[in-house]
């Protein structure tokens, strides 16, 4: 069933997948499905509740851990002061994007190429930050009275698991053309970074009608709850390359080309459920599902269409409007711009209570190591021609003034960044205004100077 972006919506349907099994025990995933046959685009479907029920039947310790997490979150919600607000400390999430592709030429970027460009990948990180920070002047902003800035910043990792420098992007050739949604363990076998330090996002060509899925947080690893094999190594998000980042191809008319598929799936990774609680209410005796969020209206169904439209439900006996603009609905990308205050509180509680999520947040707070002498690394070098973004790792003793100057082949300064006082850090240079060529980068403190050669490719 080939994928295409030029399509029109067929009638609504609900995916009814069968049983999937995974080595080391069944895992719980939030499934975000998208059928893309040659002449039609089907809206998103999801079956996370079905897999949750199956998991609970077959994996007692994981089920106990999931129940414990939900109970602790509810207790935190019940004990919160009326009108109180969650602490506004910004939370940093280090991200590694694993591109898994079958492009034997290893060419990067271009139409229908699963080996996405760095610029395409960075556009997705920007969308995540717009959405989770409710940034003014971006598609992630809203004026909804319950709209919230979740205050999470996603950053491409600058250190790999061995402590070396990295762009936060790995590229992994594999002869397989596609991966099914029962093969996340195979993706993890190809490449995986510790999930208690990084949010792993695998970007690949997903088979059939899925464009993404994510693993929910859990409480395995606590005393009395034995960890299950595979839960850590598959802990992350998988996104089809056709829905990752901001797609600017004017011929692409997909409604999922603005990066919100990843926003949605990362929401599941952070512990959010769908706004309709994964229970479809078709009759009078059906009570709508629970998403454990007090300020998202009860909904009887998702906005499973390719239109920004209003839906209404009578879950509580009163007709209320569904929050179809919520990132955890199935609306087209251009319609979604809301996380609520309740969703924010649940996310931040999960980050405190789920062991791997908490460990990741704490690891991200650790300062870069100090060095007795100025140590400098430039990467990538040569710089990616798509965006010409260069990272400068600076390892220092204590806090110092740092000056970074880029000189062209004639010895003229063409770019400068000044840091009056900084500890060890990674500075980012945006060099799109410079032409291809060889440059000299001078990095100076009051006592030391380092010189590096930098190549910008066409």
Maximum CA pair distance of the chain?
A: 78
**347 and 400, same domain (yes or no):** no
**150 and 216, same domain (yes or no):** yes
- What are the residue numbers of the active site? 265
Question: Residue 141 sits in a domain of what CATH number?
Answer: 3.40.390.10
Question: Residue 391 sits in a domain of what CATH number?
Answer: 2.60.40.1930
Other beta carbons within 10 angstroms of residue 131's beta carbon come to 29
Give residue 172's pLDDT.
Answer: 96
pLDDT-derived band at 8 (thresholds 50, 70, 90) equals very low
- Domain membership of residue 314 (yes or no) is no
**251 and 389, same domain (yes or no):** no
- Domain membership of residue 7 (yes or no) is no
- Domain membership of residue 76 (yes or no) is yes
More confident: 418 or 87: 418
- Please say if the pLDDT value at position 45 is more than 80: no
Q: CA 152, CA 410: separation in Å to the nearest integer? A: 43
The model's pLDDT over 394-433, given as tens digits with 9 standing for 90+, comes to 999 999 999 999 999 999 999 999 999 999 999 999 999 9
For residues 61-68, average pLDDT: 59
**180 and 47, same domain (yes or no):** yes
For residues 15-24, average pLDDT: 28
Give the number of domains in the chain.
2
Q: CA 306, CA 322: separation in Å to the nearest integer? A: 16
Give residue 24's pLDDT.
Answer: 32
**352 and 415, same domain (yes or no):** no
Q: What is the mean pLDDT of the chain?
A: 81
- Of 135-149, 220-234, 265-279, which has the strongest mean pLDDT? 135-149
- Domain membership of residue 350 (yes or no) is yes
In sequence order, what are the residues at sequence separation of 6 or more whose Cβ sits closer than 8 angstroms to the Cβ of residue 438?
Answer: 409, 453, 454, 455, 456
The model's pLDDT over 121-147, given as tens digits with 9 standing for 90+, comes to 999 999 999 999 999 999 999 999 999
- Please say if the pLDDT value at position 333 is more than 50: yes
Are the C-beta atoms of residues 439 and 456 closer than 8 Å to each other?
A: yes
Q: CA 334, CA 306: separation in Å to the nearest integer? A: 10
Residue 42: strand, helix, or coil: coil
In sequence order, what are the residues at sequence separation of 6 or more whose Cβ sits closer than 8 angstroms to the Cβ of residue 79?
Answer: none
Q: Which has the closest alpha carbon to 203: 174, 160, 165?
A: 174
For residues 104-119, average pLDDT: 92
- Please say if the pLDDT value at position 31 is more than 60: no
- Please say if the pLDDT value at position 226 is more than 50: no
Lowest average pLDDT, out of 136-145, 274-283, 438-447, goes to 274-283
Q: Which has the closest alpha carbon to 223: 363, 64, 46?
A: 64
Residue in this structure with the two tokens 């309740």, named with its chain if needed:
342
SS3 percent helix, strand, coil of the chain, rounded to 5, is: 20, 25, 55
Q: CA 235, CA 233: separation in Å to the nearest integer? A: 6
For residues 184-194, average pLDDT: 93
DSSP 8-state assignment for residue 301: S
**352 and 244, same domain (yes or no):** yes
**428 and 349, same domain (yes or no):** no
CA distances (Å), origin 184, targets 191, 204, 261, 439: 11, 11, 18, 42
In sequence order, what are the residues at sequence separation of 6 or more whose Cβ sits closer than 8 angstroms to the Cβ of residue 317?
Answer: none
Lowest average pLDDT, out of 185-189, 281-285, 360-364, 392-396, goes to 281-285
Give residue 304's pLDDT.
Answer: 82
- Please say if the pLDDT value at position 56 is more than 70: no
- Domain membership of residue 195 (yes or no) is yes
Q: CA 302, CA 311: separation in Å to the nearest integer? A: 9
Give residue 98's pLDDT.
Answer: 98
Domain final residue, candidates 363, 392, 424: 363
Give residue 443's pLDDT.
Answer: 98
Pairing mode of beta strands 425-430, 413-422: unpaired
**163 and 61, same domain (yes or no):** yes
Give residue 180's pLDDT.
Answer: 83
Domain final residue, candidates 363, 387, 418: 363
DSSP per residue, 140-198:
T----TTB----EEEEE-SB-TTS-B--SEEEEE-S-S-B-TT-HHHHHHH----TTT-
- Please say if the pLDDT value at position 50 is more than 90: no
- Please say if the pLDDT value at position 51 is more than 90: no
Give residue 315's pLDDT.
Answer: 85
For residues 342-370, average pLDDT: 92
- Domain membership of residue 140 (yes or no) is yes
In sequence order, what are the residues at sequence separation of 6 or more whose Cβ sits closer than 8 angstroms to the Cβ of residue 387?
Answer: 117, 118, 119, 122, 432
pTM for this prediction: 0.82
- Domain membership of residue 107 (yes or no) is yes
**330 and 405, same domain (yes or no):** no
The model's pLDDT over 279-322, given as tens digits with 9 standing for 90+, comes to 777 666 677 888 889 899 988 888 888 889 999 988 878 888 99
User: How many helices (H) does the chain have, and how many strands (E)?
Assistant: 7, 16
**406 and 346, same domain (yes or no):** no
Q: Which has the closest alpha carbon to 271: 16, 54, 35, 77?
A: 77
Domain that holds residue 442: 375-456
- Domain membership of residue 396 (yes or no) is yes
**357 and 417, same domain (yes or no):** no
**134 and 45, same domain (yes or no):** yes
Lowest average pLDDT, out of 66-75, 342-351, 352-361, 439-448, goes to 66-75
- Please say if the pLDDT value at position 210 is more than 90: no
């Amino acid at each position: 069933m080939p994928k295409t972006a030029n399509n029109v919506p067929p009638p609504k349907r609900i995916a009814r997948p069968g049983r999937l099994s995974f080595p080391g025990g069944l895992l719980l995933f939030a499934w975000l499905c998208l059928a893309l046959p040659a002449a039609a685009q089907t809206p998103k479907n999801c079956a996370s509740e079905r897999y949750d029920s199956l998991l609970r039947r077959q994996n007692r310790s994981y089920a106990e851990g999931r129940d414990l997490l939900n109970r602790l979150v509810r207790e935190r919600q019940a004990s919160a002061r009326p009108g109180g607000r969650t602490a506004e400390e910004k939370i940093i999430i280090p991200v590694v994007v694993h591109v898994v592709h079958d492009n034997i030429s290893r060419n990067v970027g271009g139409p229908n190429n699963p080996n996405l460009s760095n610029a395409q990948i960075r556009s997705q990180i920007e969308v995540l930050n717009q959405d989770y920070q409710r940034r003014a002047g971006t598609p992630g902003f809203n004026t909804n009275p319950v709209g919230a800035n979740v205050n999470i910043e996603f950053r491409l990792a600058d250190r790999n698991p061995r402590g070396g420098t990295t762009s936060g992007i790995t590229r992994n050739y594999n002869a397989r053309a596609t991966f099914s949604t029962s093969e996340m363990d195979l993706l993890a076998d190809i490449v995986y970074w510790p999930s208690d330090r990084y949010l792993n996002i695998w970007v690949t060509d997903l088979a059939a009608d899925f464009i993404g899925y994510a693993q929910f947080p859990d409480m395995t690893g606590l005393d009395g709850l034995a960890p299950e094999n595979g839960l850590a190594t598959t802990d992350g998000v998988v996104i089809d390359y056709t829905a990752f980042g901001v797609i600017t191809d004017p011929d692409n008319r997909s409604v999922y080309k603005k990066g919100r598929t990843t926003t949605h799936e990362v929401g599941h990774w952070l512990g959010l459920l769908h706004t309709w609680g994964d229970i479809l209410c078709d009759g009078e005796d059906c009570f709508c599902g629970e998403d454990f969020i007090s300020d998202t209206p009860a909904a009887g169904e998702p906005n499973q269409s390719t239109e920004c439209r209003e839906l209404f439900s009578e879950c509580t006996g009163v007709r209320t409007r569904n929050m179809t603009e919520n990132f955890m609905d199935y609306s087209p990308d251009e319609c979604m711009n809301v996380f609520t205050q309740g969703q924010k509180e649940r996310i931040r509680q999960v980050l405190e209570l789920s062991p791997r999520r908490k460990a990741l947040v704490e690891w991200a707070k650790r300062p870069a190591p100090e060095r007795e002498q100025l140590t400098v690394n430039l990467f990538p070098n040569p710089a990616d021609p798509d965006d010409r973004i260069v990272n400068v790792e600076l390892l220092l003793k204590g806090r110092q003034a740092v000056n970074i100057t880029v000189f062209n082949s004639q010895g003229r300064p063409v770019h400068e960044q000044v840091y009056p006082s900084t500890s060890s850090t990674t500075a980012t240079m945006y060099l799109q205004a410079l032409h291809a060529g060889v440059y000299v980068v001078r990095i100076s403190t009051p006592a030391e100077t380092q010189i590096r050669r930098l190549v910008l490719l066409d």
